[in-house]
Amino acid sequence: MIKFYSLLLMSLFAFLNVHAQGKSTNKTLFHPDDPNIQYIGRIDYSDPMHLVFTYPGVQFRTGFTGTSLDMMCKLHSGYFMAEIDGGEPFKISFLGNTIVNLARNLKDGTHQAVVTYIGEGYENLPEFHGFFVDKGKTLAPATNVPQRKIEFIGNSITCGYGIEANSEAEHYEEETANYYYTYAARTARSLNAQAVVVARSGIGVYRSYNGPKTGDKVTMNTEYPYTLLYNDQHKWDFSRYTPDVVCINLGTNDTSTQGADSVLLLNGFKQLYKQVRSHYPKAKIVFLCGCMMNGQQLRSAQQAMDVAADYAHKQGDKEVYRFDFTPHDGSLGYGADWHPSMRQHEKMANELTPFLKKLMKW
């Protein structure tokens, strides 16, 4: 009975929101548990009517019939990129509303939609509540879903921090962060692969940005086992997604300020490697050295990754690899707070894509 009233109230809420935003009320809501919606990324499914997520890159794929498609999320769920029938991607937001139109006035038929979350949701805790289609129409199976699978573990670079900012003088703003244009997302699209992202700005393998040299209590090693960032209530079910290759792009924050403890840094990489390998015994693992480091910082990170990879090899694990991005020098501009610009991310993708293509024989 409680569940019935909950669904009734949610449907009424959806109706009122559609009406309030000037949209046609002649719509049918399909809830998140509809089998035609395919999900990619770490998502908390505890409440099948309200799916919660915190990491960038979480993706919803579905087909639909009819001429239009609307999407419903919790208020303040942030920014997404949407693609309809493989067309030009466009940005949408749920900052001031709960229902956003993704397509209208399409030719009546079957269409495809891909929606990607592009922010960091550990504060807003975005929720997906479903899709609306024309009354009498339905959702349909998602088609052309990539079979290749990559997991990216990273920091602000992988998140797309400040990628849409005009210069390094700008600071973090939610509206200038965009995972969709990062090296990770670009590489996945180029290789026709799914991508699951576990990344947070400022995080490291043993200490966060400007953290104590002795390390922080919360690192990627402590957060990696869980579905949501900074929430140890729900362990991630690793059987939901088995990547072919895992790319670890960390170390920038560990080595950023006041140096780093080389032993703790190495141990942090070793511990993360062991976690990843325990869950994915057959995946290839690649330690990536990010583009924001130079000088001693770069050397420290590279050495730690080299030794961690060598450690794995000595354990008999030959499927651990290393890759270095070209350090950025400003020739392609900078994003907010000296982060990689959109053009720099494109260059990074152009470097990583052929490496993974050869490594994976894709």
pLDDT tens across 82-132, in order? 999 999 999 999 999 999 999 999 999 999 999 999 999 999 999 999 999
pLDDT at 18 over 70: no
Task: Provide the pLDDT confidence category of residue 259 given band limits of 50, 70 and 90.
Answer: confident
- How confident is the model at residue 23, as a pLDDT? 46
Contact predicate 205/273, CB 8 Å: no
CATH assignment, 2-140? 2.60.120.260
69: closest CA among 19, 129, 138? 138
Q: Pinpoint the alpha helices (H) of 177-257.
A: 183-190, 220-223
Digit-coded pLDDT (tens) for 225-234: 999 999 999 9
Express as a percent the part of the chain with pLDDT over 70. Answer: 93
pTM of the model: 0.93
pLDDT at 21 over 90: no
pLDDT at 324 over 60: yes
- How confident is the model at residue 360, as a pLDDT? 98
CA 194 to CA 335: how far, in whole Å? 26
Contact predicate 158/247, CB 8 Å: no
- How confident is the model at residue 19, as a pLDDT? 38
Look-up of token digits 């609307």: 70
The two structure tokens encoding residue 300: 């420290």
- How confident is the model at residue 331, as a pLDDT? 97
Task: Provide the pLDDT confidence category of residue 4 given band limits of 50, 70 and 90.
Answer: very low
- How confident is the model at residue 293, as a pLDDT? 94
On average, the pLDDT of the chain sits at 93
- How confident is the model at residue 16, as a pLDDT? 42
Q: Residue 320 belongs to what H/E stretch?
A: strand 320-324
CA 344 to CA 329: how far, in whole Å? 10
Task: Provide the pLDDT confidence category of residue 25 given band limits of 50, 70 and 90.
Answer: low
CA 131 to CA 28: how far, in whole Å? 8
Q: Where are the domains of the chain?
A: 2-140, 148-360
Digit-coded pLDDT (tens) for 179-207: 999 999 999 999 999 999 999 999 999 99
CA 359 to CA 289: how far, in whole Å? 17
CA atoms within 13 A on the CB side of 88: 1
Q: Tell me the β-bridge partners of 65.
A: 110
328: closest CA among 289, 284, 360, 361? 289
- How confident is the model at residue 258, as a pLDDT? 77
Domains 2-140 and 148-360 share a fold: no
Digit-coded pLDDT (tens) for 157-175: 999 999 999 999 999 999 9
More confident residue, 18 or 246: 246
Q: Tell me the β-bridge partners of 64.
A: 111, 139
CA 362 to CA 190: how far, in whole Å? 11
Q: What is the DSSP letter of 290?
A: P
CATH 3.90.79.10 fits 148-360, yes or no: no
CA angle 219, 220, 222 (to 5 degrees): 70
Instruction: Taking residues 321-347, report their average pLDDT.
Output: 97
Give Cα separations from 249 to 50, 151, 159 (angstroms): 31, 11, 11
